[in-house]
Structure 1
């Protein structure tokens, strides 16, 4: 049976994942890789858990809104945000 691990993300949410191995040493290596990858995503202001389309789409909208609020970005970002919220998130959802 493979080893399943759980890690707590910066948001306080628990994330479970399989190491896809029965060997304890290999499972430890996989767990360390997950930890460092999640930490690196956090440092680069990326979502730690990109499992669902909705989470990634909301993150993209948030970044575009921040760009628009700081008088940067493109005018077309407003259209992108509308299309993502109106069509893409309801269709793809989870």
Structure 2
């Protein structure tokens, strides 16, 4: 079984296709995930409308090097959008659209 979030190295920090709030959220999550002194189990990211929350959700598992990721959406429309953003058979999925995984890992 491929562990995509553990074995792939996404291009986020220097990626011009990633919006600044998405990049900042990802970097904050990565710092949080790497902080061995922080024993809190929950973390939240707050972004205004139009800043790319769906994209941020899509790249967040890489910050944690997740084995599995569960995304809970508040409605069918958002769930459908997130499914499309994560779906590797969709040529416009977030990783392809924003060239997140173009580099060889």
Using structure 2 for the length normalisation, give the TM-score: 0.28
TM-score scaled to structure 1, two decimals?
Answer: 0.30
Of structures 1 and 2, the larger Rg is shown by: 1
Instruction: Give the structure with the higher percent helix.
Output: 1
